[in-house]
Amino acid sequence: MTPSSQSPIQRTGSDVSNKAGTQSWFYSDIVKDHFFHPHNFLKEDEDMTRFNAMGHVGSPACGDELRVWLHVDTKTERIKEFRWKTFGCGSAIAAASMCSILATEGEGMTLEEARTLKPQTIIERLGGLPSRKFHCSVLCDKALRDAINDYYRRTQQKEKIMEEAARILDPSTGVTDRDIEEAVLEGAVTLEKVQQKTKVGIGNPSILPHVEELIRFYREKYFG
């Protein structure tokens, strides 16, 4: 949000747009506040021994990355502390900041409550995000669920672990249901656009009805 003169991003009547003018979007005042004043960001000198769960999603090599650390009360299994670090844009920073507040408000969410935290809730509390940035809120709930699984591993509650395995839809291209989900989150909400991104079903049209069902499911799940 504070681009330099060398950046491909510049300010216009909207909050941010690129020089080509192909993208522009507004950020709410809440998003801006969390970007400039993030809550619960992990400091370099923090005592890491008090955290008993850690979650991770994404990679800086291919886009946004988020790591979260939790201190969970072992008696009540409520989240008492939530720290995070992200390699990502302003929306990713704001979403992680808000997620940390939601998880620790009041007495703190129980792990089972935190598992049901939806990207839409994070976005609503931020006062909205541009549709192209919706995936930033998805990073948060995925990293949180990964941390919850980590806690259950550490406490030997393996029956409570819920893995998010990807299913291969198209053996010829290796496209999975997770690839379809990511494509929808990035704005590909029609079969044609999903195929442009993933090449799913190009040589195997028999799977396209199932792909269309998944597109509708993820579109409804994330965009209503």
Could you report the per-residue pLDDT of 160-170, keeping only the tens digit for each? 999 877 778 88
Q: How far apart are CA 178 and CA 200, in angstroms?
A: 12
Regions of the chain where pLDDT drops below 70:
1-25, 59-63, 224
Three-state SS annotation for 123-191? HHHCCCCCHHHHHHHHHHHHHHHHHHHHHHHHCCCHHHCCCCCCCEEECCCCEEHHHHHHHHHCCCCCH
State the pLDDT at residue 66. 93
Give the 3-state secondary structure percentages of the chain, helix then strand then coil, rounded to 5: 45, 15, 40
Arch. (CATH architecture) of 9-160: Alpha-Beta Complex (3.90)
How confident is the model at residue 8, as a pLDDT? Answer: 36
Separation of alpha carbons 27 and 127, rounded Å: 8
Q: What is the pLDDT of residue 108?
A: 98
Among residues 62, 89, 99, 140, the one annotated as catalytic is 62
pLDDT on residue 60 = 59
Chain centroid to Cα 146, Å, comes to 12
Report d(CA 52, CA 73) in Å as an integer.
Answer: 9
Q: How many residues does the chain have?
A: 224
* pLDDT recorded at residue 17: 46
Which of the residues 89, 99, 136, 140 is marked catalytic? 136
Q: Has 89 been annotated as catalytic? A: no
CATH number of 168-223, picked from 3.40.50.300, 1.10.10.1100, 3.40.50.620, 3.40.720.10 = 1.10.10.1100
- What's residue 25's pLDDT? 53
Answer yes or no: 62 catalytic. yes
**Is 9-160's fold the same as 168-223's?**
no
pLDDT at 131: 72
Provide the residue ranges of all domains of the chain, joining segments of one domain with +: 9-160, 168-223
pLDDT of residue 10: 39
